[in-house]
Amino acid sequence: MTSGAQPADTHCPYCSLQCGMRLRRIVSPESPGAGPGGTTVAVEERPDFPVNRGALCGKGRSAAAVLAPGARLTAPLVRDRRTGRLREAGWDEALGRAAEGLADAAARHGRDAAGVFGGGGLTNEKAYLLGKFARVVLRTANIDYNGRFCMSSAAAAQRAAFGLDRGLPFPLADIARTGCLVLVGGNPADTMPPAMRYFRAQQAAGGTLVVVDPRRTRTAETADLHLRPAPGTDLALALGLLHLVVADGRVDEAFVAARTTGWERAREAAMAHWPERVERLTGVPVAAMRRAVELFCDAPTGMVLTARGGEQHSKGVDTVGAWINLCLATGRAGRPHSGYGCLTGQGNGQGGREHGQKADQLPGYRSITDPAARAHVAAVWGVDPDTLPGPGRSAYELLDTLGTDGGVRALLLMGSNPVVSAPHASHVTERLRALDCLVVCDVVRSETAELADVVLPTAQWAEETGTMTNLEGRVILRRRALDPPPGVRTDLDVLHGLAERLGVGKGFPTEAEEAFEELREASAGGQADYSGIDYARIRAEDGVFWPCPRAGAGRPHHPGTPRLFLDRFATPDGRARFADVSHRAAAEEPDADYPLRLTTGRVLAHYQSGAQTRRTPELDRAAPGPFVEVHPRLAARLGVADGTPLTVTSRRGSVTAPAVVTDRIRADTVFMPFHWPGPGRANTLTNPALDPVSRMPEFKVCAVRVEAAVTEGAR
């Protein structure tokens, strides 16, 4: 065995931590899964990167497994018009078929009949050019991305409260310095394990951790206090805590007067949620609520972090707004080591929407309805602002109308697997099948790719260069460590090829750094201003925090912005806005036919739809399939034990998976992870009811019934 070139410093392809890692090429022809020339890739620690300091979870350590040829696509596929099956094709044929399908839909049904659906794992350069492709080449309003299912509710609430949203408005390191941390609906011990070092350091320094989660997760087990509300009641809980803050005289009146507006309406709403009422709504005892308020208010500093458990609801924006209210009322915002933040989930969920994948946004976090924003971006793109479309449909609404009159008839889908990840997934699968043309760009033959008319095999994280923006707002550089296999092209190559075939020969570079230079210009002056960031600076500084404007006449080199809001909030008057919110029921509450609540989430071994982690042998062995967590009391009523197949039914369908009997879950709730397709696909059950502001679906709660599955032998 001989080592190849010098190791390449890069970043993990999975979650929003974007942990630093080092890749080393090893020449070993006898190694299973070796690529051309017998090359394999080893993942090594990279202790110098400040986010993870060398720590990697199992997903990160095994990330190179999917680079092996046997685990991924290495040739384009097209659906044979005679047999109806996917077959290998050359790139000219595949790109020609894709361009033909998109152009034909636009010609027959109007420009908005061609659509684009992107992914929160795409680099900033790809997200930027994908948005440009939709608006300049296709001239369609219909572009959105699966990041809508990530932190859109938190983003909308942050914009309403602070005038700007960034996952964390402070570095991760500040978590270790806060006095009390309230974590709502997050389980970083499983979803981003290297982040747990900050939580452990916070407690080791004398801080306290309060976890809000209906399950006793691995994170909750480390907490000083665990509050277990029924799914769908986090909004009531936040209002109840604020009621106690007011009743106990713990409001920071000076901060509220100097740096906020809207307190009186927020106070009135909180006072209507007295503790005993909130206990009835949530199941959280009044004594536990009082203890949470004591811990939060007695500490010198405090933070609230929310994640998908509190956000993926049809009232997710109001829920996050209520938790922000708690921070504002107690003076825990806009101050060092205090504030509200969101634990973004996807690798580039932040940058992916900042620069153009979201239906209503242009690069730099500009609104697509703002004439000045349209003029600025159109000038960078060299087009007439009047040719840019307006806002399109949100992610689920786009998927819901696929193949219908007035909906999208041809779809370019890049880096997403909605057959597994979308709510009401059986319906979404039907809509994908109804398309006149589906073009999928992916690294693996995912469940969504199986439905496509054209599948384009694209390069992976280690085979291309590009920037990502992690949950702190730190723009980092993933470096190319090896060449893609023969027959595989980068997503930038794909967009260039499609644009060329659709009559736009310029403006779609295939080199990432060239694309980033244009992105800098497009973002300049926007809220997410990257104009002062370049590749050389990212390399030298291990990432740069946005906003970072370009230096100019009378304006010195900008250091980046690790901490937002210390002097003023990003609103016109510099004051934060309280949210005027009250509790309301989930879109679907338990009843006689569906007496239980279902909540969903992730497990340690897998990531999102599992398209890559399920193809990693080590991870697949650790978590080989779906399951249903049920409380022992429910298991006794059903007469089932560990491993008994259970059928879970909602108003949208039924799934079957083995029982895991545990007191980790509430007795009135069942839990399923959502990483698997087929009979155990959790998102067959989930409710697509949307938040009226963020258009986030209600993944985290729906009404279900559970019964022992009827086996073939019992029929």
Closest by alpha carbon to 337, among 329, 327, 349? 327
Q: Give pLDDT, residue 1.
A: 28
Regarding whether 357 and 293 lie in a shared domain, the answer is: no
CA angle 38, 44, 50 (to 5 degrees): 145
In a domain, 96, yes or no: yes
Of 510, 545, 580, the residue at which a domain comes to its end is: 545
Q: Give pLDDT, residue 3.
A: 47
Regarding whether 358 and 476 lie in a shared domain, the answer is: yes
Residue 61: how many other CB atoms lie within 10 Å: 17
Q: Which residue has the tokens 């690790």?
A: 562
Q: Mutual orientation of helices 152-162 and 316-329 as an angle, nearest 10°?
A: 40
Of 67, 91, 118, the residue at which a domain comes to its end is: 67
Q: Give pLDDT, residue 28.
A: 64
Regarding whether 90 and 60 lie in a shared domain, the answer is: no
In a domain, 173, yes or no: yes
Residue 55 belongs to a domain with what CATH number? 2.60.40.4210
Of 27, 47, 67, the residue at which a domain comes to its end is: 67
CA angle 320, 693, 274 (to 5 degrees): 40
Look at the chain and report how many structural domains it folds into.
4
Regarding whether 437 and 327 lie in a shared domain, the answer is: no
Sequence-ordered list of residues with C-beta below 8 angstroms from that of 556, at least 6 positions apart, any chain: none
Residue 316 near residue 310, CB atoms below 8 Å: yes
Rounded CA separation 416/134 (Å): 17
Show the domain range for 687.
596-714
Regarding whether 295 and 205 lie in a shared domain, the answer is: yes
Regarding whether 166 and 132 lie in a shared domain, the answer is: no
Regarding whether 435 and 505 lie in a shared domain, the answer is: yes
Q: Give pLDDT, residue 563.
A: 97
Regarding whether 444 and 315 lie in a shared domain, the answer is: no
Regarding whether 245 and 129 lie in a shared domain, the answer is: no
In a domain, 129, yes or no: yes
Regarding whether 91 and 61 lie in a shared domain, the answer is: no
DSSP letters of 595-638? Answer: -EEEEEE--TT--TT-TTGGGSHHHHHHS-S--EEE-HHHHHHH
In a domain, 588, yes or no: no
Rounded CA separation 77/147 (Å): 27
SS3 track for 486-529:
CCCECHHHHHHHHHHHCCCCCCCCCCHHHHHHHHHHHHCCCCCC
Q: Give pLDDT, residue 2.
A: 35
Regarding whether 31 and 89 lie in a shared domain, the answer is: no
Rounded CA separation 475/477 (Å): 7
Residue 201 belongs to a domain with what CATH number? 3.40.228.10
Residue 231 near residue 700, CB atoms below 8 Å: yes
Rounded CA separation 376/521 (Å): 9
Residue 661 belongs to a domain with what CATH number? 2.40.40.20
Q: Which sign does the torsion angle of CA 694, 310, 473, 174 carry? A: positive
Positions of the chain with pLDDT lower than 70, given as ranges: 1-5, 27-39, 553, 711-715
CA angle 131, 517, 509 (to 5 degrees): 60
Regarding whether 164 and 100 lie in a shared domain, the answer is: no
Joined tokens for residue 227: 């509050």
Q: Where are the beta strands (DSSP E) in 333-465?
A: 339-342, 361-362, 366-367, 410-414, 437-442, 454-457
